[in-house]
Chains A and B, each alone.
Chain A
Amino acid sequence: MSSSKKSSDGKSSEIEEAVASLTMPFNKILLTSSDGESFEIDEAVARKFQIIAHMIEDDCAGKAIPIDNVTGDILSKIIEYAKKHVVEPDEDEDEEAKKKLDSWDAKFVEKLDLETIFKIILAANYLNFEGLLGFASQTVADYIKDKTPEEVREIFNIENDFTPEEEEAIRKENAWTFNG
């Protein structure tokens, strides 16, 4: 995967696109992040992003696609994940491959801080990359699971803006949740 920084200027991206469609190898797509980083990826990988898959179907993809809402560092991580998941192994048919992939996924997300994970969630949603959106959301859900509300507030820096009476009322409202 090649990555190069170019100045993010409207005119140069037009020229970029023109040059790309002349010089790009067949079946490769160039994605450019909001801060000018470019990534050349296989069409199969790009298709993991539904928004791009639709553009390819509707024949308006061109060879260079600007991704305005996503910075290079995040786009790079998303592409890394997409490449690993181009082919999803069938749980029944290839248990080995599924286990290996799950292990890779776990290592992938281990290195990421919460802030990055949230950025990935937003970007995966924007690109309509269901697989990664689900995986990242599950990861955040795991942070909430089995924790008390106090612990959850701590982890996510959530400020408790309830009065003690309000909080008591809500605990009563959802009594079974807190007492069962």
Chain B
Amino acid sequence: MDFGRSRDIISGLPEFLISHILSFLTTKEAASTSVLARKWRYLFAFVPNLDFDDSVHLSLGKKNPVISGEDYLEMINERNNQLSTSFMAFVDHVLALQGNSPLHKFSLKFGDGVVDRFRVIRWILKVLERGVSDLELDMHLKWKSSLPSKIFLSETLVRLKLSVDRGPRIDVDDVHLPKLKTLHIESVKFEQHGIGLNKLLSGCHILEELILEYISWCLWEFVSVSSTTLKRLTFCGELMQDENPISVSFDTPNLVYLMFTDVIADEYSKVNFDSLVEAHINLQMSEDQMEEARFSNSEGNLVANATDFIVGICNVKILYLAAYTLEVLTYCCEAIPLFNNLTHLTIESNPEVAWDSLPGLLKNSPNLETLVFKV
């Protein structure tokens, strides 16, 4: 190929290579190329990864001092509705252009504004039909019914991320996700919380990574994670509420990596981390428990009991402890177990939190090579 100095080289590339370049942009950025020249009008639609993000709306700019607060809000609403309408039209347009071609990734994010629930369901069903392997739904909207159950029966999904805070429930009946390797759940509402999660996990036979975020203990009574294939787990209970989880259980014998943030549960019915290599632990007492521990506990009784959990992680090689977790070791642990395999320990330090348990922990880590204090 002979390229002159000011020739338009990019338009001469094979279409699949142009689409490949566009796949490194968001769908919105790629779609702006539709107006470059005739050849480019539909090229952006050949990208097998789609992400539609309507969650960020530009402000209206400088507030006109003459408009009242109410009118301004109405203007914002009007504009948001217009944007939602054009957003839905855009998604329809791109999906129509793509027809039934194979689809790799589909990500849909929206927040405020009016979104037609039926259209959204149609989109989700369409992409499932096309064999999508990576599905991300980030929808925070008042939505009375549940997510389409077909999501949980996909033969092609490898990665699923659901963040549907104020949105639809997950009503899990049948779950069959034979290819799912990564599941990311952020503030979802199951029909029945702990049970719903169990049902979901039981249908994932090759799951390797599970991320559970913003588990609200007002709603969940118990959490139980059981999987022989799971290698990585990130678990974040909501900390700001003054509730302790009732029951937490982990039966994950092949887990290698754990990132854990939560308030101490009343009961740890099972803690099987036999293969755990690396753990990041931010286990805390509730506010009431902290007060009791620090100020009113004169008899030295355990304020809460995290022993089972701490014993469960004692085989790790690499450990990161949040400041509050040191406190847990002091006030909520019957005895600090032996951390025989521990070679690398990082402690987060906080002047408000006591280090009483640290000498005992170090004494029980006979093979420690590296100690890091994070300020």
Could you list which residues of chain A lie within 8 angstroms of chain B, going by C-beta atoms? 114-115, 118-119, 121-122, 125, 133, 137-138, 140-142, 144-146, 148-149, 152-153, 156-162, 167, 170-171, 173-180
Q: What 0/1 pattern do residues 89 to 101 of B give for CB contact below 8 A with A?
A: 1100100000000
Residues of A within 8 A of B8 (CB): 156-159
Stretch in B18-26, B155-163, B196-204, B335-343 with 4+ CB within 8 Å of A:
B18-26
Shortest Cβ distance from B7 into A: residue:
A157
Residues of B within 8 A of A141 (CB): 21-22, 24-25
A178 to B32, CA, bound (A): 7
Residues 252-271 of B contacting A (Cβ, < 8 Å): none
A142 to B87, CA, bound (A): 24
Contact check, A180 vs B93: say whether CB atoms are below 8 A apart: no
**Dominant secondary structure of chain B at its interface with chain A:** helix
How many interface residues does B have (CB within 8 Å)?
37
- With beta carbons under 8 angstroms apart, the residue of B9, B25, B87 that contacts A176 is B87
Cβ-based interface call for B34 (8 A): yes
- With beta carbons under 8 angstroms apart, the residue of A118, A170, A176, A179 that contacts B35 is A170
**Chain B nearest Cβ from A91, distance in angstroms:** 14
Apart from A152-B33, A158-B40, A174-B93, list 11 A-B contacts with CB within 8 A: A118-B3, A119-B3, A137-B17, A137-B20, A156-B8, A156-B11, A157-B9, A158-B11, A159-B37, A177-B31, A177-B32
Cβ-based interface call for B66 (8 A): no
The answer to whether A176 and B36 touch (CB under 8 A), given A121-B17, A170-B41, is no
Cβ-based interface call for B86 (8 A): yes
Cβ-based interface call for B38 (8 A): yes
Cβ-based interface call for B60 (8 A): no
A153 to B280, CA, bound (A): 49
Cβ-based interface call for B28 (8 A): yes
A66 to B6, CA, bound (A): 31
A162 to B58, CA, bound (A): 29
Contact check, A175 vs B28: say whether CB atoms are below 8 A apart: no
Residues of B within 8 A of A140 (CB): 10, 21
Cβ-based interface call for B29 (8 A): yes
Residues of A within 8 A of B24 (CB): 137-138, 141-142
